[in-house]
Amino acid sequence: MFDNVKEILEEYKKLWAYGYAEALMAWDTETYMPEADASTRGEVFSVFNELEKQVYLKISEKLDKIDEEKLSDEEKGIVRVLRRSIKYYTKVPIEVIKEFTKTTNESVVIWRNAKAKSDFNLFSPYLEKILDLSRKIADYLGYEKQPYDALLDLYEEGFTTGDGDRIFNTLLPEVSGILKKVQEAQYFPSSHELENVQYETERMKKVNEFLIKLLNMPSDKFRLDVSAHPFTIRISGSDVRITTRYEGKDFKETMFSVIHESGHAIYELLINPRFEGTPIATGASTGIHESQSRFWENIIGRSIQFIKLVYPTLKENLPFLSKYSDEDIYKYFNTVRPSLIRVDADEVTYNFHIAIRYEIEKRLINEKMTVKEVPSLWNDMMEKYLGITPKNDAEGVLQDIHWSQGSIGYFPTYTLGNIVAGMLYLKIPNLYNLVSQGKFDEIKEILKELICKYGATYPPKTLLRRSFGKEYDPEGLLSYLRDKYINLKGIG
């Protein structure tokens, strides 16, 4: 490794240590921290952020001396990731960053109140301010064609409006056809009685413990806890933690939270351990990370082969399942219905929800559509894609927290995750033979070689071209949906 890169990594060790402590505190905040300490915890985070900025500025000076032509792929990755982190702090004026942080902190509270009252007008002034600041940030960061591209790039490096338009223009007409055929065939129900059946939390915890063992999550590097909102957090490469929640009914919700978050954790655990303490010891992007959780949750977890593996344990711990066959459970896990709420959406309809948010964000940033137009456009697009219209703002335009947090450009990564999961579906030979035999370590090994071991060494598009010979290709996802929901390959 070149001396200049070694010097940078020595300085970066401070950021790594801060990040380690912040991750541990973030996990504790969501799980065991007494509520009274929330403000103090916030002050500690604020101090860490100031210290981190100072380190980034020191690293920035050293990066100017790097000759990238002589670097290895890993070293180039280290330099690239650091430059991306530094770019935001050096190009965006500190007063804009502070104003954005202040506005979003206030906005989250206003959004919660607006949602509770189902009144978009309470939130709209804050959304206007967030959008104005977001446009300024996009201008400071720079872009080639559209300002929205600069915001998309914050979450998915190199992803542009052109990419998004191509993907959704291909995906949506095909998925509309698939949805229509599913509804006509009526094999997959639009609802299931098990969605309303109560379960005992302690019994469901045993099911989730079994799932963790089935997926062979390493007990010395991994743990499962409970939180209000399921999440995954990497403390280090040898300490990755997930959470789930127990709502007392519709047992698949907590079960698939565990599988979904385990997918994120598997990615983190399979990153090359040599990268620990460097900026490439993380996922390639938000979308690539989401591909791992979606792959495990949907393509594996909702398959009939996986259900056959877990069926005996489900019946043993959930007595109300005694009258249901494994095929009944399969239908329960795979209900298909147009729904108002994104987080409740099934595999077939989910990407319509993302397309609506993508289109609205694009128009707000690129075309400067007014905020007051958002609710009507939202409702029109819900009717166009899903044939349903929200009755109020709470179940429509106010349902997601993302805009109040300033996360403009984040939503498309959910669809990118589904697309890359579909690419994996086509890539892995005999996938369901491996699932039916419980050979999950073999599947992990394939994922490691295709995606996980590289961490953030390569930008997402480069990584996809190396492993799949193409970038974000919707055909894999469409093939998966057709195979499962139209051709019924999953039950044969």
Whole-number pLDDT of residue 48: 87
- pTM value? 0.95
C-alpha 219/C-alpha 212 separation (Å) is: 9
Measured CA to CA, the distance from residue 136 to residue 147 in angstroms comes to: 9
Structure confidence by residue, pLDDT tens digits, 220-256: 999 999 998 899 999 999 999 999 999 999 999 999 9
Nearest alpha-carbon partner for 410 in 443, 371, 361: 361
Least confident of 34-38, 116-120, 246-250, 399-403: 34-38
Summarised one tens digit per residue, pLDDT across range 370-390 is 999 999 999 999 999 999 999
- Does the pLDDT at position 44 exceed 90? no
- Asked if residue 70 has pLDDT above 90, the reply is no
261 is catalytic: yes
Closest CA to 223 of 24, 369, 447, 78: 24
Burial of 426 (C-beta count, 10 Å sphere; 0-12/13-18/19+) = middle
SS3 335: coil
Catalytic annotation, pick one of 30, 75, 156, 261: 261
**Percent with pLDDT over 90 in the chain:** 86
Averaged pLDDT for residues 429-447: 97
Mean confidence (pLDDT) of the chain: 95
CB burial of residue 117 (10 Å; 0-12, 13-18, 19+):
middle
Domain chopping of the chain, boundaries: 3-91, 123-492
CATH for the stretch 123-492: 1.10.1370.30
Phi-psi region of 248 (alpha: psi -120 to 50; beta: other; left: phi over 0): left
Confidence at residue 1, expressed as pLDDT on a 0 to 100 scale = 61
What is the number of other CB atoms lying within 10 angstroms of the CB of residue 88? 14
Tell whether the model's pLDDT for residue 182 goes beyond 70: yes
Q: 198 pairs with which residues across the strands?
A: 249
The pLDDT value given to residue 236: 97
Confidence bin at 66 (pLDDT 50/70/90): confident
Q: Give the tens place of pLDDT for each residue, 80-120.
A: 999 999 998 889 988 898 899 889 888 988 999 999 999 99
pLDDT > 80? residue 492 = no
pLDDT tens string 321-343: 999 999 999 999 999 999 999 98
CA end-to-end distance (rounded Å), the chain: 53
CB atoms within 10 A of CB 5: 22
Asked if 21 and 41 count as a contact pair (C-beta separation under 8 A), the reply is: no
pLDDT at 419 over 70: yes
**Can you give the pLDDT at residue 24?**
95
Can you give the pLDDT at residue 152? 98
**Any binding-site annotation on 290?**
yes
Q: Is 347 flagged in the annotation as binding?
A: no
Read off the amino acid at residue 452. Answer: C
Residues linked to residue 21 through DSSP beta bridges, in sequence order: none
Distance CA 102, CA 231 (A): 25
Tokens matching residue 105: 């902190």
Q: Is 162 helix (H, G, I), strand (E, B) or coil?
A: helix
For residue 466, the SS3 value is: helix
Q: Please give the average per-residue pLDDT across 164-192, as a whole number.
A: 97
Residue 174 CA to residue 185 CA, distance in Å, equals: 17
Instruction: Say what the pLDDT of residue 491 is.
Output: 61
264 annotated ligand binder: yes
Instruction: Show Cβ contacts of residue 336 under 8 Å, excluding neighbours closer than 6 positions.
Output: 179, 182, 183, 188, 189, 190, 346, 347, 348, 349, 485
